[in-house]
Structure 1
């Protein structure tokens, strides 16, 4: 029996071979079309099976590895693919923001092959943007988008490493939010009746709600008998478009103060809603009030009262600052604002007024007195001054710090009734202790040697 000669490949059929570096190369000729000459093309992959699939046309070649083990896609093509992937996980407003940033700032990169991106090239691109007048904050914003897109390319095996990782970036600008002073806040509240939707301003100052959450409220979200408001949605670009709140933590229940509950009850009688899904703040046609219309009324009120032209979001900052000033613990405030962590609440919203700073510094006076008689203050007198600087209703932590006792000792005193308190059962504020009861306790133990 004669040995069969292996069949030769037909012209333009292509070939597969293994390179010395271990990768597989697919070579074939792309036929002439649209006036272009036929040309030889090579694609690279990691396994022979992938190479055969490319050769048989079972795999889109743009997804396969090209020179240097990277992809042949352009940056613009890959950003489109990444945005399609993000459509399921991003809110429509966030997706629109990403597209806008890409169109405005990353367009110069669109025609460049993704395998040609390097750390040096990206840093040079960033420097050119900064010299062109782009602010550090804007640069950090579009770097975040580019970094995410390239990280996804690494995850999909399109790139071997993320070229944007480790780029030298400008220092993040210090964020200083505006806050209304107590006198400005009082002036604003007293004059909200001057505009049709002034109750929205009072609600923002009393609950810390975002403007989108306020205008998307329905009467079914408010329980006036229990004095609780539930945040379940926020407004989109159009008035009738309601979206899920900003994050999963933004789904929350906010207890209402008596004044806020009475304010909403009076508004309920004025509106006379027929169903629970009726908007709390309807427009002239009975639909949802547009956020931009509320902003316009708010700005008009500030101009009339000659107050600083702060944004509507400043009302949320003001609520957070007032809450901290009266002694609200950080965890509770973070939950009420709908934040994912206490750290974010403190970094962004913990703005203390000058009055609060002076009161807190006054608690340190006993440490640095210039007069000998003040230096001889008894321990009881020092502790009493610290307790008097605390709010009328204290937490266990405030009680413990003011009296300089351990957590174990504080729990023992409260659980045994030595210091009267209200045990709420709430994890974030289990013990509610009146300041007068703490002062009485200090007076009782004043002569004890261990005190």
Structure 2
């Protein structure tokens, strides 16, 4: 199935495409279906069905008098056939929890640059959201504004969005001594939980990617690990399932996140300790049911508490791996591909944390002017 399209092949050989037909006040979604003999036919039909639905919703003569919440719903409907379910849920949560309460009851004529700025200020200073969360919500609003402009011949083209500046935060990285202590602890009475933590330290894999790892993804002959899925628990938006949340196994967050990384000898040896000749079984559970990411997070908290390590989250292991790679001289392109980043800039900005010793060693490689000798420097100090 193509990412985010909800198009799949049925047992009878036909292709079925799902789209959002209607949504209830409680957020539950009802789906419609289109069928085709081929993938392309099913996709074409569902795009046509969504277009007809949208056109019927926005074609009345008083379109400019529609409230902003109306266009939020229209935009969400269109995006539902283009993005992953997890991304859809993220957008829906942001719109229902933040965008609609502040902007939803406004008519288009009342949407202004000043109103968007006030909304941004409210999210940052009243709701106390992180800068990244506010930027994500504003990106969603910008996309909705673009949609409105396409439907109304640019009625909101004058509205501008200014993003709050991101302030770099201090990121927790394990020191070499802390990492050694943690590894020594993990090595004692090794189990699947400890193996998962060690795997993150040695590969930089995300928690959802580790939970989604199946035995078919590990090749001992090629010495590779194939990362093609991720696991996360998300809000349930289907009226067909009676639960607040569902465990979603899906493709990774971006095409670059689908990747193959080397299977190192220490990881291979640990894999053999738990190996089962069942390709579809998940590595951490030894069954067809995957481990909950939350369960793995609890394991990590328990292990770090035993080691007296504070402020350690699963993503800390990923940052630590990236830092160790930089310290031993990895080129950024290779590291970026191993981490599954969409671009090298992400690796540089978020995950490369050279310490003071590394900075000092690099600066020592610079050529020093001959006119300054160590003796002269010593005498100057004295």
TM-score, structure 2 normalization: 0.73
> 1 or 2 for the larger relative contact order (CA 8 Å, sep ≥6)?
2
In structure 2, what is the equivalent of residue 307 of structure 1? Answer: 309
In structure 2, what is the equivalent of residue 115 of structure 1? Answer: 109
Structure 1 runs (4+) deviating above 6 angstroms are: 372-375
Q: Secondary structure at the match of 1:82?
A: helix
Once the two structures are superposed, the pairs formed by residues 25-424 of structure 1 within 5 Å of their partners are 60=56, 62-64=58-60, 66=62, 71-106=64-99, 107-135=101-129, 137=131, 138-157=133-152, 159-165=154-160, 167-192=161-186, 193=188, 196=191, 197-237=193-233, 241-268=248-275, 273-282=276-285, 287-364=289-366, 366-367=368-369, 370-371=372-373
| Offset at residue 349 of structure 1 (A) | 0.6
Unaligned stretches of 5+ in structure 1?
1-58, 376-451
What is the CA–CA distance in structure 1 between the aligned matches of 2:316 and 2:57, rounded to whole Å?
52
Closer, same or farther in 2 for the Cα pair 1:149/1:368, shift >3 Å?
Answer: farther
What is the CA–CA distance in structure 2 between the aligned matches of 1:86 and 1:239, rounded to whole Å?
20
Contact 2:172–2:311 (CA under 8 A) maintained in structure 1? no
Which structure is larger by alpha-carbon Rg, 1 or 2?
A: 1
Per-residue Cα deviation, 1:405-449 (whole angstroms, up to 9, x for no partner): xxxxxxxxxxxxxxxxxxxxxxxxxxxxxxxxxxxxxxxxxxxxx
What is the CA–CA distance in structure 1 between the aligned matches of 2:268 and 2:362, rounded to whole Å?
32
Closer, same or farther in 2 for the Cα pair 1:302/1:195, shift >3 Å?
Answer: farther
| Offset at residue 60 of structure 1 (A) | 4.6
Per-residue Cα deviation, 1:38-64 (whole angstroms, up to 9, x for no partner): xxxxxxxxxxxxxxxxxxxxx758434
Contact 2:232–2:293 (CA under 8 A) maintained in structure 1? no
Per-residue Cα deviation, 1:373-431 (whole angstroms, up to 9, x for no partner): 799xxxxxxxxxxxxxxxxxxxxxxxxxxxxxxxxxxxxxxxxxxxxxxxxxxxxxxxx
| Offset at residue 344 of structure 1 (A) | 1.1
Closer, same or farther in 2 for the Cα pair 1:130/1:223, shift >3 Å?
Answer: closer
| Offset at residue 151 of structure 1 (A) | 1.0
Closer, same or farther in 2 for the Cα pair 1:130/1:316, shift >3 Å?
Answer: closer
Q: Secondary structure at the match of 2:64?
A: coil
In structure 1, what is the equivalent of residue 23 of structure 2? Answer: none
What is the CA–CA distance in structure 1 between the aligned matches of 2:126 and 2:371, rounded to whole Å?
55
What is the CA–CA distance in structure 2 between the aligned matches of 1:276 and 1:369, rounded to whole Å?
67
Closer, same or farther in 2 for the Cα pair 1:295/1:63, shift >3 Å?
Answer: same
Per-residue Cα deviation, 1:149-208 (whole angstroms, up to 9, x for no partner): 11122233464343542x344322224322111111111111114573100111111111
Per-residue Cα deviation, 1:341-365 (whole angstroms, up to 9, x for no partner): 1111101110112332232233247
Name the count of aligned residue pairs. 308
Contact 1:230–1:253 (CA under 8 A) maintained in structure 2? yes
In structure 1, what is the equivalent of residue 22 of structure 2? Answer: none
In structure 2, what is the equivalent of residue 23 of structure 1? Answer: none
Per-residue Cα deviation, 1:108-131 (whole angstroms, up to 9, x for no partner): 221111232111222233334444
| Offset at residue 370 of structure 1 (A) | 4.6
In structure 1, what is the equivalent of residue 240 of structure 2? Answer: none
Closer, same or farther in 2 for the Cα pair 1:72/1:62, shift >3 Å?
Answer: farther
Contact 1:63–1:158 (CA under 8 A) maintained in structure 2? no
Closer, same or farther in 2 for the Cα pair 1:221/1:127, shift >3 Å?
Answer: closer
Q: Secondary structure at the match of 1:241?
A: strand
